[in-house]
Structure 1
Amino acid sequence: MIDTVNILGIPFSKLTMHETVELLSEHIRQEQPKLFHLITANPEIAIVRQTDKLLQTIIAEADLITPDGAGIVMASKRKGDPVPERVTGYDLLLRLLEQGNDRKWSFYFLGTDETTSLAAVENIQTRYPQVVVAGRHNGFFSGDEELSILQEMKQSKPDVLVIAMGAPYTDKWIYRNKRELDGVKLVFGVGGSLDVISGKVKPAPAIWKAMNLEWLHRLLTVPVAKGQKSRWRRQSALPKFFYRAVIRK
């Protein structure tokens, strides 16, 4: 049983990054394991969950939820039951790609725009030449294209399915299509990670990371894609989270 801490109804894993990677690696190495649905949840997701019934169900049925945000770490300390560190989608993806390069795992990449998707996969193939790219598709597709994508996943049976279509849409898509993902061993959302890997978005400088201000760096520097909510509106969840999870017991 994995030790967790409950923050606003979400059981956050208390595993370190290294322990999380080891757990996922062990699952991938198993013969014919069931689909493992990992969620990397931040304060915004914690707030959305309060009123989103479907998201509550998805979180309750997820296999593991990691603390993707300094606010989660702060809230756990406030409860007196701290998580050891953040386990973010971006860092987790890089660690799994490193493992996959050593063990020749296969990955399928779904999400972001076409140009960014192509560039991200090209960079991944350059940096991790032993990783098998089972397939890729941008995150803008019709119902018929979705059926084709799911069929491709069934045939290729990737060890890891990486989805970059934004939260909570990504996890709702996974939940809706779980039965169609037969053969996939691990699936998780990575937010804007493919944008960074492609070079479209610059990663936050080390000093911003050290101060746990990556969210502010994104807010000030990353443009919002057409059709997405204003990043300022999305970050309005932070003060709500801070009050509910940190100030108020």
Structure 2
Amino acid sequence: MDTHVNILGIPVPKLTMDRSIERVEQMIEQDGQELCHVITLNPEIAMACQHDASLRTIVDEAGLLTADGIGIVMVSRLRGTPLPERVTGCDMLYRLLERGNEKGWSFYLLGANETTSALAADVIRRDYPNVSILGRHHGFFKQEEEGELVEEIRVLKPDVLVVALGAPYAERWIHKYKGVLHAKIAIGVGGSLDVVAGTVPRAPMVWRKLNIEWLFRLLNQPSRWRRQLLLPRFAWKALVYRDK
């Protein structure tokens, strides 16, 4: 039985959210585990990989790859090799916090602006009291501050490094430093810290179940319309793609 689906040449594992969380937990609890870079693949990253060899290498070297975005799942279904469900960065972050609350995991939050970063940390401490927030830093650091930031994360050794720097910058940043960060898991979560902090509304469950979360986000953030123009191009290219 095939365990992967080919999306524009990228082998995407057929993983449910539950199975993805199980894999992450195994990595966190394994002594001596090297950093696992979790990438939630969306159409933007998949399209960028077609002309960006360095990004494609980052995706190929990911410790765990999941299907983020209904476009990825819909294409897999239309090609006759369906992925079981979406496993988004935002949903995975919430599930990791829930599991981390049960297991006493530690987190480091990197990204968003200072106000949002502080709010997100406060919300997590309130809603997940057994989670340890070892540190946090906003995402508007200067290049000359980067070394000190990396050193702080290296010393703190969080179980989970949450990187909300936007895709694919977060993926590039994690890959650049994954050998020295000393976290067990690092995951790019887009704008999810804004959702955790409450500064950006999360789509109601009914919207998510209907797979129209993208529409809710567009209505609340009209500036995203340019990004939506990529989706028809992605769908066409992915549907006609033939393995080389």
TM bin (shorter chain): over 0.9
Note if contact 1:40-1:68 (Cα within 8 Å) is conserved in structure 2: yes
2:236 to 239, 243, 246: 243
1:98-177 matches, within 5 Å, as 98-177=98-177
Give 5+ residue unaligned stretches, structure 2. none
Q: Which amino acid counterpart does residue 108 of structure 1 have in structure 2? A: Y
- 1:176-195 correspondence to structure 2 within 5 Å: 176-181=176-181, 183-195=182-194
| Structure 2 Cα separation of the partners of residues 207 and 28 of structure 1 | 32
TM-score normalised according to structure 2 size: 0.94
Q: Does 1:15 align with 2:23?
A: no
- Taking the aligned partners of 2:36 and 2:58, their CA distance within structure 1 comes to 13
Which one-letter code corresponds to 1:61 in the other structure?
A: E
Give the whole-Å Cα distance in 1 for the aligned partners of 2:126 and 2:52.
40
Aligned to 2:214: 215
Deviation at 1:204, TM superposition (A): 0.8
- Mapped to 1, the partners of 2:86 and 2:136 lie a distance apart of 28
Partner of 1:197: 196
Match of residue 226 from structure 1: none
Contact 1:74–1:246, Cα closer than 8 Å, also in 2: no
Sequence identity percentage: 52
AA of the residue aligned to 1:232 = W
Provide the C-alpha distance between the structure 1 equivalents of 2:237 and 2:43, rounded to a whole number of angstroms.
Answer: 10
CA distance in 1: counterparts of 2:65 and 2:221, whole angstroms: 26
Normalised to the residue count of structure 1, the TM-score between the two structures is 0.93
TM-fit CA distance, 1:78: 1.9
Instruction: Please state whether the residue corresponding to 1:167 is helix, strand or coil.
Output: coil
How far has the Cα of 1:173 moved from its partner? 0.7
Task: Return the offset for 1:3.
Answer: 2.2
User: 2 CA distance for matches of 1:21 and 1:179?
Assistant: 23
Kindly state the Cα deviation for residue 247 of structure 1 after the two structures are TM-superposed.
Answer: 6.0
Q: Tell me the secondary structure at the aligned position of residue 32 of structure 1.
A: coil
Q: In the aligned structure 1, how far is the partner of 2:203 from the partner of 2:131?
A: 26
Whether the 8 Å contact between 1:158 and 1:184 is mirrored in structure 2 is yes
Counterpart CA distance in 1 for 2:131 and 2:117 is: 16
Name 1:91's counterpart in structure 2: 91
Moved over 4 A (4+): none
Q: Give the number of equivalent residue pairs.
A: 241
Structure 1 unmatched ranges of 5 or more: 224-229
Contact 1:100 1:106 in 2 (8 A): yes
Quote the RMSD (CA, aligned, Å). Answer: 1.5
Offset at residue 237 of structure 1 (A): 1.1
Mapped partners of 1:191, 1:156: distance in 2: 23
Moved more, 230-239 or 107-116: 230-239
CA distance in 1, matches of 2:215, 2:241: 24
Once the 2 structures are TM-superposed, how far is the Cα of residue 85 of structure 1 from its aligned partner? 0.6
Q: Deviations over 1:99-140 (max 9, x none)?
A: 111111110000011100000110000000010111100000
Contact 2:8–2:241 (Cα < 8 Å) also in 1: no
Structure 2 Cα separation of the partners of residues 105 and 248 of structure 1? 41
Aligned partner of 1:5: which letter? V
**Quick one: which of 230, 233, 241 aligns to 2:226?**
233
Q: CA deviation at 1:241?
A: 0.9
